[in-house]
């Protein structure tokens, strides 16, 4: 299978608000379809950041939003997509991994197809409309590198918060950008309590992720 990794930034109801409220998203496109001459897209998103409530409240006011349903850090979105890159989606293209949207409004896509021409055509279509776009990778890959979505383990709110904070602040980066004591201070709880929340979250997450590579 041929896979392209694309990073870009454009005028987007999600990317604009990621930058405005410093929220990042992991997103899965569920469907793209036409209705009454308009292109619509249905997608699922998982949010990270402190201003998620403000992000959602502002997003709900956008005229392109048709339906939005939220539960905790996750939300489902049905939107008008005539001016989005996903409008070029065709059934021959699949999303290899979730779309990532960072706090600066950049989107990173990994899309694939059995045919190299289809992947190249998809990229060229986006490039014609979006100025700030970069092809990071175009190569053949095998099934080991294709993501298969799994349900998020049953984490408590505190466990999710501890894990998200660790990711956002660079605890898992190399070299590590922050220690547990500072993370506990940011979360306004004791070091021992923070360690327990993070350890429990990791214990739930790591076996789930590891099973993907078996």
pLDDT tens sequence for the chain (214 residues): 899 999 999 889 999 999 999 999 988 888 888 888 888 889 989 888 889 999 999 999 999 999 999 988 889 999 998 777 777 777 788 888 888 899 999 999 988 899 999 999 989 988 888 889 999 999 987 755 555 544 455 678 898 888 888 888 888 777 888 999 999 999 999 999 999 999 888 877 665 544 433 4
**pLDDT at 164 (0 to 100):** 82
Per-residue model confidence (pLDDT) at position 151: 44
Q: Look at residue 144 in the predicted model and tell me its pLDDT.
A: 57
Task: State the pLDDT at residue 55.
Answer: 97
CA distance 7 to 172: 22
Determine how many CB atoms are found less than 10 A away from the CB of residue 120: 15
What pLDDT score does 4 carry?
92
Instruction: In whole angstroms, give the CA distance from residue 148 to residue 168.
Output: 23
Separation between Cα atoms, residue 20 and residue 34, nearest integer Å: 30
Residue 121 makes CB contacts below 8 A (sequence gap 6+) with none
What pLDDT is stored for residue 147 in this prediction?
57
Q: What is the per-residue pLDDT for 163?
A: 85
Query: Which residue carries 């501890």 as its tokens?
Result: 162
* The predicted structure's pLDDT at residue 20: 96
Burial environment of residue 37 by CB neighbours within 10 A (0 to 12, 13 to 18, 19 or more): exposed
The alpha carbon torsion through 35, 38, 39, 43 (nearest 10 deg) reads -70
Query: What pLDDT does 85 receive?
Result: 76
């Amino acid at each position: 299978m041929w896979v392209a990794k694309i990073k870009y930034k454009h005028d987007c109801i999600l990317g604009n608000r990621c930058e405005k409220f410093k929220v990042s998203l992991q997103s899965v496109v569920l469907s793209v379809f036409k209705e009454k001459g308009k292109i619509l897209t249905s997608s699922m998103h998982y949010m990270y950041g402190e201003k998620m409530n403000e992000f959602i409240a502002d997003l709900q006011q956008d005229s392109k939003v048709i339906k939005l349903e939220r539960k905790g850090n996750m939300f489902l979105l049905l939107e008008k997509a005539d001016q989005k890159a996903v409008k070029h989606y065709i059934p021959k293209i699949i999303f290899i991994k979730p779309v990532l949207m960072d706090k600066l409004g950049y989107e990173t896509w990994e899309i694939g197809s059995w045919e190299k021409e289809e992947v190249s055509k998809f990229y060229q279509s986006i490039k014609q409309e979006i100025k700030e776009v970069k092809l990071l990778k175009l190569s053949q890959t095998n099934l080991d590198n294709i993501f298969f979505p799994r349900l998020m383990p049953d984490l408590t709110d505190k466990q999710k918060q501890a894990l998200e904070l660790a990711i956002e602040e660079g605890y898992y980066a190399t070299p590590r950008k922050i220690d547990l004591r500072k993370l506990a201070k940011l979360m306004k709880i004791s070091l021992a309590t923070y360690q327990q929340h993070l350890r429990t979250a990791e214990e739930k997450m790591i076996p789930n992720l590891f099973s993907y590579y078996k």
